[in-house]
Amino acid sequence: DQQVKQNSPSLSVQEGRISILNCDYTNSMFDYFLWYKKYPAEGPTFLISISSIKDKNEDGRFTVFLNKSAKHLSLHIVPSQPGDSAVYFCAASELSNDYKLSFGAGTTVTVRA
Amino acid sequence: NAGVMQNPRHLVRRRGQEARLRCSPMKGHSHVYWYRQLPEEGLKFMVYLQKENIIDESGMPKERFSAEFPKEGPSILRIQQVVRGDSAAYFCASSMTGVGTEAFFGQGTRLTVV
């Protein structure tokens, strides 16, 4: 069963504009959420996380928003850069077992020059 | 994440053979996690190990799959009598302590069963 869903398999955005990636989850026990970035032939790299006590976390060009009532989170990248072209995975877990991540299927972001 | 080393990067096995996937964690990391990514899907948790101990294997198929993390040497994920459905990318991650820390992923082993 897919507890974390990324409904957009791909996203194309102009360099300098905002990229918005969306993620929905079904398990109400999840209280820790992460975004990973993955280049071809490499493993996922941690990008940013948020716990359920917050609704926003910002790190440079990356901001994650959490809407607990809607069981929805999003990642904003602004401004988008060509090096941001990658697959982005949303992941969730219970904080008490944060190694047991449930991943979405990923969104491939392409930043156009 | 370059510090987590997985080998081989690609592995081809015939149905019925055994597959052994190795993972050397980052220096100083004693916690290892294995994940599997089937085509068109996200990564799925398989097993969590510390040195010489299996902490959580709730994501491992009950048969043909086993994992170990010996006192010396890499962690091994072993798949016996492979079937076509085992074809996937297998990722290992490691962390310094367990719960509450960020884990770093290796580059993965792509297993193809022919």
B57-105 pLDDT, tens digit each: 999 999 999 999 999 999 999 999 999 999 999 999 999 876 656 789 9
Q: What is chain A's mean pLDDT, rounded? A: 94
Give residue B99's pLDDT: 61
CA angle in degrees (0–180, nearest 5) for B38-B30-B111: 25
- pLDDT classification of B1: cutoffs 50, 70, 90: very low
Q: Token pair of A41, please? A: 């032939």
Cross-sheet strand order for the sheet of A72-77: A4-5, A19-25, A72-77, A62-67, A56-59
B107 closest CB neighbour out of A6, A43, A97: A43
B108 closest CB neighbour out of A43, A91, A106: A43
Question: Which of B 27-46 lie inside 8 A of A, CB atoms?
Answer: 31, 33, 35, 37, 40-45
In tens, the pLDDT along B41-62 reads 889 999 999 998 999 999 999 9
In tens, the pLDDT along A64-93 reads 999 999 999 999 999 999 999 999 999 999
Give residue A97's pLDDT: 81
CB atoms within 10 A of CB B19: 22
Count contacts between A and B (CB, < 8 Å): 69
Q: Within an 8 Å CB–CB cutoff, is residue A1 touching chain B?
A: no
Question: Which of B 65-94 lie inside 8 A of A, CB atoms?
Answer: 91, 93
Give residue B40's pLDDT: 84
Give residue B97's pLDDT: 78
Q: Which of B102, B81, B77 is nearest to B89 (CA)?
A: B77
Contact A103 B31 (CB under 8 A): no
Q: Token pair of A112, please? A: 């156009």
Give residue A41's pLDDT: 85
* Three-state SS at A36: strand
**How many whole angstroms separate alpha carbon B51 and alpha carbon B4?**
16
**How many whole angstroms separate alpha carbon A63 and alpha carbon A48?**
8
Give residue A95's pLDDT: 81
Q: Which of A32, A90, A64 is nearest to B101 (CA)?
A: A32
In tens, the pLDDT along B16-43 reads 999 999 999 999 899 999 999 998 888 9
In tens, the pLDDT along A3-53 reads 999 999 999 999 999 999 999 999 999 999 999 999 998 999 999 999 999
